[in-house]
Amino acid sequence: MSQPNILITGTPGVGKSYLCEKLSKKHDFNWIDCSKIAKDMDFVEEYDAEYNCPILDEDKLMDYLEPVMAKGGNIVEYHGCDFFPERWFHGVFVVTCSNTILYDRLKARNYDEKKLKSNIECEIFGTVLGEARDSYKADIIFQLNGETRADAEKSLDMIENWYSIWKLRK
Ligand SMILES: Nc1ncnc2c1ncn2[C@@H]1O[C@H](COP(=O)(O)OP(=O)(O)OP(=O)(O)O)[C@@H](O)[C@H]1O
Ligand SMILES: [Mg+2]
């Protein structure tokens, strides 16, 4: 594989898309926003009325992504990471954010109180970071901070460095 597959994960609103957009433009990576694909391709199992969100049909998404991932050169974005095949990813980046900043971002999206609370708890408990640690080898997992623009610049530098090393090692 001449290009790696990168996973950018973290609680909704931490800044995954912000990083993916910049990286995909700079390196010509294929940015795969799983939530968007699920919606566009109707990979939705049912609608969760309690949390007011669609429930992803993981199997349909996996079948769709398998040939795409085999080619390499993808940046995959999703707010969960425990159901992807481990073999797909060369680097897993978990974006985290302070819960006060995250609260304001999700509030600006007009999330209702229940959805807000569950997402903030997800961030406080480090749920996605825990999922990543349970699902991938420790040496490919990196934690990034998504609070400020300066943090995003640092994160982009870190991913750039990781990419340079990946190219040297491959
Ligand atoms: N590092 C940052 N500094 C300041 N603002 C940021 C940063 N990263 C993202 N934002 C802002 O926070 C909001 C949420 O960011 P973004 O859409 O990238 O989150 P996300 O993790 O992709 O969310 P989702 O899981 O819903 O896809 C956007 O308005 C974005 O401009
Ligand atoms: Mg996003």
94, 11 contact by CB (below 8 A): no
Q: State pLDDT tens for residues 32-65.
A: 999 999 999 999 988 888 877 889 999 999 999 9
Ligand nearest to the CA of 79: 1
User: The domain spanning residue 130 has which CATH number?
Assistant: 3.40.50.300
How far is Cα 99 from Cα 53, in angstroms, rounded to an integer? 21
* Alpha helix ranges (H) inside 8-141: 16-27, 34-40, 58-71, 99-108, 113-124, 127-135
Distance CA 16, CA 124 (A): 17
Instruction: Write the residue with the smallest CA distance to atom 16 of ligand 1.
Output: 15
When divided into structural domains, the chain yields a total of 1
The pocket around ligand 1, CB under 6 angstroms, is made up of 10, 12-18, 35, 79, 105, 146, 148-149, 151-152
Query: What pLDDT sits at residue 114?
Result: 92
Instruction: For residue 2, report the distance from its CA to the centre of ligand 2, in Å.
Output: 26
Mean pLDDT across the chain: 96
- Segment 90-134, tens digit of pLDDT: 999 999 999 999 999 999 999 999 999 999 999 999 999 999 999
| C-alpha distances out from residue 41 to 51, 55, 61, 63, Å | 21, 13, 9, 12
- Rounded to two decimals, the pTM is 0.97
Range of the domain at 142: 6-169
Nearest C-alpha to atom 29 of ligand 1 is from which residue?
105
| Angle, vertex CA 93, rays to CA 170 and CA 54, nearest 5 | 125
Q: Does residue 161 lie within any of the structural domains?
A: yes
Answer yes or no: is pLDDT of 21 > 90: yes
Tell whether 1 is covered by a domain.
no
On whether residue 67 sits in a domain, the answer given is yes
